[in-house]
Chains A and B, each alone.
Chain A
Amino acid sequence: MANMNLTLQVWRQGGSFGDGRMVPYDAADVSPDMSFLEMLDVVNERLIAAGEPPIVFDSDCREGICGMCSLVVNGVPHGPDRGSTVCQLHMRRFKDGDTITIEPWRAAAFPVRRDLVVDRGAFDRLIASGGYVSVNTGSAPDGNAIPIPKDLAEAAMDAAACIGCGACVAACKNASASLFVGAKVSQLALLPQGHPERAARARAMVALMDNLGFGNCSNEAECEAVCPKEISIATIARMRREYIRALVTGAGR
């Protein structure tokens, strides 16, 4: 496959770009073997060499696990590939002459800090409200003291695979964090270690989700479609059951 010439429309915000606008850039001579972020690196190299401020975007692991990268590509969080992050997207997915729009996550709970960088601190606050098991270091019983059926462990792992990137929120028309919270509530509700606190956890996390400015879930399933780890919306259903159970039984107050 030959190298490509592309046009980018990139959201720039802050500094001389003020409150933000789309800015066009040429991405010339792009190799199909580049990753999407490497393509942006190359554009930035040219800007830096010319003394212009480069496009600011988040990334770290560049292999789909840290959840740092967070670009909306042509209107879709993480771009066109299903089950993958934008750092795993490769340029062979595009054609010579394409125009590509690149924007940050858009959600009230994730304010833009600069260009394509948003603040996802709300996710940390959600975890701090109950997304853990209260066990101090050094007080744990032997790892094999409680056998856990393999299928249960696997189901917990499916939910635990969430990378906390926030694409689910960015894709949802209500900007709901239900998939993120559902995944954590499910993981810990499936495992015996999470049982003592399951009611309190569901209550606290669901209540805080509303307070932080995330919207309600109206079952559009857009979140599942963009989730790079393909976390199932069944976790949202489980979160609701956990929450209702807590309300009905009065547990975890």
Chain B
Amino acid sequence: MNGAPRIAPAGTRQLEARIPSGPIPEKWDRCKFDSKLVNPANRRKFTVIIVGTGLAGGAAAATLGEAGYHVLSFCIQDSPRRAHSIAAQGGINAAKNYRNDGDSVTRLFYDTVKGGDYRAREANVHRLAEVSVSIIDQCVAQGVPFAREYGGLLDNRSFGGAQVSRTFYARGQTGQQLLLGAYQAMMRQVGAGTVKMFPRYEMLDVVVVDGRARGIIARNLVTGTIERFQADAVLLATGGYGNAYFLSTNAVNSNATAIWRAYKRGALFANPCFTQIHPTCIPVSGDHQSKLTLMSESLRNDGRVWVPHAAGDRRPAAQIPEGERDYYLERRYPAFGNLVPRDVASRAAKAVCDEGRGVGETGLSVYLDFAESIGRLGEDVIRERYGNLFQMYEKITDENPYKAPMRIYPAIHYTMGGLWVDYNLMSTIPGLFVLGEANFSDHGANRLGASALMQGLADGYFVAPATLPNYLAGASLPKVGADHDAFREAEASVTKKIDRLLSVKGRTTPREIHRTLGKLLWDNVGMGRTEPKLNDALARIPHLREEFWATVSVPGSGAEMSQVLEYAGRVADYLELGELIALDALERRESCGGHFREEYQTPDNEALRDDESFTHVAAWEYAGDGALPVRNVEPLAFESVKPSQRSYK
């Protein structure tokens, strides 16, 4: 690709973050105090649509149902309990300081702002740290069986980017247990009649009436019918967009459609290039691969990462003597060692593989070795801590990690970017709120381990239920019927898109195109980004999109259960979103957190931020198909934590 770099039009929109005034520790209290309330007797008159039943959506449905609102809850899976959050393994952070190791709300706040490489909104992060404490209490009361010490009190482990032990866990199934807690609370409301459930539904559009979100269009995935749902507010809790990269640790139904369609209706998309690559995943085994399996970060508590000193050393791990092994994380980052944050660990793994020191058949993996811990603690202790992960590893690879080191490699795992929201979690479409991984709010350019579960539950149990009433009480929300023009128009546009997918009748499967897109994004918009690679991606994605619309095969009709149709619709959206990710990465001419531009690095290969030019959120505004989106900016102010070069040495 030659020619000048593309410049997206700079927006002039004033983004109102609505951060409450006052000192940072008082902002959340002030926000709650200043909020208008909805009288309990009036709450059932308000209908609230919640799309998604992961930690964020499930918790919100339960809490708003308990408060008495009329809640409609949608999810793709056959039961709310199966949302992608179920797969989270390692744990959830909270500033409880039960270990008395110096933790506090302030420290969790500080670690998260620093971990995000100073690209998150301070006030949001502080609130997250504050409510983290109540989350644990709530979950324990629900019967979540967290791990405990012999004295009967809650146990903690350490996660990357922190020097205190503040991660609560339930074996290797923390996400499952937290989600089941939220799901059960939500099902209690289903029983009580406040929440109505719509499983196997896919939201395909937001309906905006007089500038406010007033409903959704969704497809019944069993019958194929397109249905209209009206509400007074819509909450999206639809998860991240990591699956744009084809191979990721996300569940196969995780997708970007809900937030992408909302973007096309006027919600701004913030920092799409802030994607997280997790350092410890099971490496790719072949073309048939449908997803990548994560090996929890908690393993880095007891596992040591290494590669051979010499490039091209093909000996099995056991035959490489201690002196010829390079424990490169311990060497480069003596203070944090194997527990450096994810972006740092992933880049370090890529660097050693680029030097030809990677291991395994493809040379695209590094060792995660438990021999020392097994020697020190015994195999039983390791089995108790990580048994299910070791078993999962063995099932997939046919190798026994108690005997030989695991092989791991980075993979797309999480997306910090997402729909732009103000302090109240409301997007730029009034009445459209965005919760959990689907929003951009708390993790800046890099998320710390065990903080996504914390954020999902914070948003769902505590934040949205406190900020939504203020909107409902203050807005004028006349009744709208399902025959309103806006609903008709939205339904027609959804139907048109489906018909178009069905009518191509080509020979290429949606998966083939998705795989090609994913590989392009991984190679060019992955761990090491450069201007030429980004321009190359921007040149190629439109062609891929054309190829998709000219050759895709979607057999069958729309009036039935059709997974290939669902998937094709999602791939069509990735083909647009992928371009925005690349464009955002191109325009952010600095490195920060998970966004590493090779042109901008320190002499020892760390991310080099440009605070002068980029201490801001890039919030992209849709400008019509074929037009370059507009890049708006929300400046970030750091009043409590002074930005510095992140150091984990």
CB within 8 Å of B: which residues of A? 14-15, 31, 33-35, 37-39, 41-42, 44-45, 47-49, 51-54, 56, 58-68, 81, 84, 88, 90, 92, 113-114, 117, 119-121, 123-124, 127-129, 131-144, 147-150, 153-154, 156-157, 160-161, 163-164, 187-188, 191, 193-194
| Interface-located stretch among B146-154, B204-212, B536-544 | B146-154
Does chain A have a CB within 8 A of B439?
A: no
| Contact call B191/A128, Cβ cutoff below 8 A | yes
23 sample A-B contacts, Cβ–Cβ < 8 Å, listed by A number? A38-B290, A53-B555, A54-B563, A56-B561, A60-B251, A61-B86, A61-B252, A63-B87, A65-B176, A67-B79, A88-B392, A119-B78, A124-B190, A132-B184, A133-B143, A133-B184, A137-B62, A141-B141, A147-B151, A150-B149, A150-B150, A156-B143, A157-B177
Question: Which residues of the other chain, A, contact B141 by a CB distance below 8 angstroms?
Answer: 133, 135, 139-141, 193
Determine if A42 and B170 form an interchain contact, defined as CB atoms under 8 angstroms apart: no
CA distance A128 to B183 in the complex (A): 10
B580 to chain A, nearest CB (A): 26
Asked if B185 is at the interface of the complex by the 8 Å CB criterion, the answer is yes
Of A37, A65, A90, which one neighbours B396 at CB under 8 angstroms?
A90
Find the A residue at minimum CB distance from B223: A113
Complex Cα gap A119–B79 (Å) = 9
- Contact A14:B137 (CB < 8 A) given known A58-B78, A128-B190: no
Task: Tell which of B285, B511, B560 touches A114, judged by Cβ atoms closer than 8 Å.
Answer: B560
Give the residues from 118 to 152 in chain B that come closer than 8 angstroms, CB to CB, to chain A: 134, 136-143, 145-152
For the A-B complex, the count of residue pairs with Cβ-Cβ distances under 8 Å equals: 233
Q: Are B138 and A138 in contact (CB under 8 A)?
A: yes
Instruction: Check A51/B553 contact, CB under 8 A, given A35-B290, A143-B136.
Output: yes
B66 interface hit (Cβ, 8 Å): yes
| B171 proximity list for chain A (CB < 8 A) | 157, 161
Question: B96 at the A/B interface (Cβ < 8 Å)?
Answer: yes
Q: Which residues of A contact B251 (CB under 8 A)?
A: 60-62, 66
> Do A148 and B152 have beta carbons less than 8 Å apart?
yes
Q: Is the CB of B561 within 8 A of A117?
A: yes
Question: B504-531 CB contact bits vs A (8 Å, 1 = yes)?
Answer: 0101111110000000000000000000
A137 adjacent to B465 (CB under 8 Å): yes
Which residues from 282 to 302 on chain B have a C-beta closer than 8 Å to any C-beta of chain A?
A: 285-286, 288-291, 293
A140 to B153, CA, bound (A): 16
Closest to A15 in B: B560
CA–CA, A144 and B151, complex, Å: 11
CA distance A53 to B372 in the complex (A): 52
Contact A135/B142 with A54-B564, A60-B251, A65-B173 known, Cβ cut-off 8 Å? yes
The answer to whether B199 touches A121 (Cβ under 8 A) is yes
Chain A, interface SS category: loop
Whole-angstrom CA separation of A152 from B478 in the bound complex: 53
A127 touches B561 (CB 8 A): no
B395 interfacial by beta-carbon distance below 8 Å = yes
B66 adjacent to A137 (CB under 8 Å): yes
Q: Which residues of B contact A163 (CB under 8 A)?
A: 176
| Shortest distance from the beta carbon of B422 to any chain A beta carbon, whole Å | 22
3 tightest Cβ-Cβ pairs between the two chains A and B: A147-B152, A140-B141, A132-B184
B169 CB to nearest chain A CB (Å): 11
A60 pairs with B170, CB closer than 8 A: no
* In the bound complex, CA of A90 to CA of B399 (Å): 13
Which of chain A's residues have a CB closer than 8 A to the CB of B147? 153, 157
Q: Contact: B252 with A62, CB < 8 Å?
A: yes
Whether the Cβ atoms of A31 and B509 lie closer than 8 Å is no
A113 to B170, CA, bound (A): 34
| Beta-carbon contact of A164 and B145 below 8 Å | no
Chain A residue contacts of B508, Cβ below 8 A: 49
Select which of A38, A143, A149 is within 8 A of B154 by beta carbon.
Answer: A143
Q: Is the CB of B154 within 8 A of A140?
A: no
Query: Which B residues lie within 8 Å of A113 (CB)?
Result: 222, 561
Q: Is B398 an interface residue (CB 8 A)?
A: yes
Contacts known (A140-B134, A147-B153); A49 close to B553, Cβ less than 8 A: yes
Interface string of B381-422 (1 = CB under 8 A from A): 000000000001001101000000000000000000000000
Q: Which residues of chain B have C-beta atoms less than 8 A from A127's C-beta?
A: 81, 183-184, 187
Contact between chains at B507 and A49 (CB < 8 Å): yes
CB within 8 A of B398: which of A62, A92, A119? A92
Give chain B nearest CB distance to A105 CB in angstroms.
11
List B contacts of A42 (CB < 8 A).
288
Is B635 part of the contact surface with A, judged by Cβ < 8 Å? no
- A68 / chain B contacts, CB cutoff of 8 Å: 77-78, 82
User: In whole angstroms, what is the CA distance A44 to B553 when docked?
Assistant: 12
**A129 CA to B140 CA, complexed, in Å:** 21
Bound together, the chains give a CA A157 to CA B171 distance in angstroms of 8
A45 touches B146 (CB 8 A): no
Q: How far apart are B245's CB and chain A's nearest CB, in angstroms?
A: 16
Q: Which residue of A lies closest to B146 (CB)?
A: A153
B-chain residues with CB within 8 Å of residue A154 when the two chains form the complex? 145
Known: A34-B286, A124-B79. A144 touches B398 (CB 8 A): no
Instruction: Compute how far the CA of A10 lies from the CA of B104 in the bound complex, rounded to whole angstroms.
Output: 57
Complex Cα distance, B560 from A84, in Å, reads 31
Closest beta carbon of chain A to B253's beta carbon, Å = 5
What residues on B are CB-neighbors of A58 within 8 Å? 78
Question: Which residue among B151, B170, B289, B290 has the maximum number of chain A CB atoms within 10 Å of its CB?
Answer: B290
Contact with A along B184-215 (1 / 0, CB 8 A): 11011011000001010000000000000000
> By the criterion CB–CB under 8 Å, are A56 and B563 in contact?
yes
Asked if B555 and A52 sit within 8 Å, CB to CB, the answer is: yes
- Contacts A56-B561, A157-B145; A129 near B152 (Cβ below 8 A): no
Chain B residues whose C-beta falls within 8 Å of the C-beta of A92 in the assembled complex: 398
Q: How many Å from the CB of A86 to the closest CB on chain B? A: 12
Minimal Cβ-Cβ distance residue in B for A191: B143
User: Which of B66, B153, B398, B509 is in CB contact (< 8 Å) with A49?
Assistant: B509
Query: In the complex, what distance in Å separates the CA atom of A42 from the CA atom of B511?
Result: 10
Q: Nearest A residue to B168 by beta-carbon distance? A: A143
Is the beta-carbon distance between A141 and B137 smaller than 8 angstroms? yes
B153, closest chain A residue (CB): A144
Does any Cβ of A come within 8 Å of B102's Cβ? no
Residue of B nearest to A67 (CB): B82
* B177 partner residues in chain A, CB cutoff 8 A: 157, 160
Instruction: Tell me whether B556 is interfacial, beta carbon within 8 Å.
Output: yes
A193: chain B residues at CB < 8 Å are 140-143
Shortest distance from the beta carbon of B246 to any chain A beta carbon, whole Å: 13
A143 neighbours in B (Cβ, 8 Å): 96, 136-137, 139-140, 146, 154
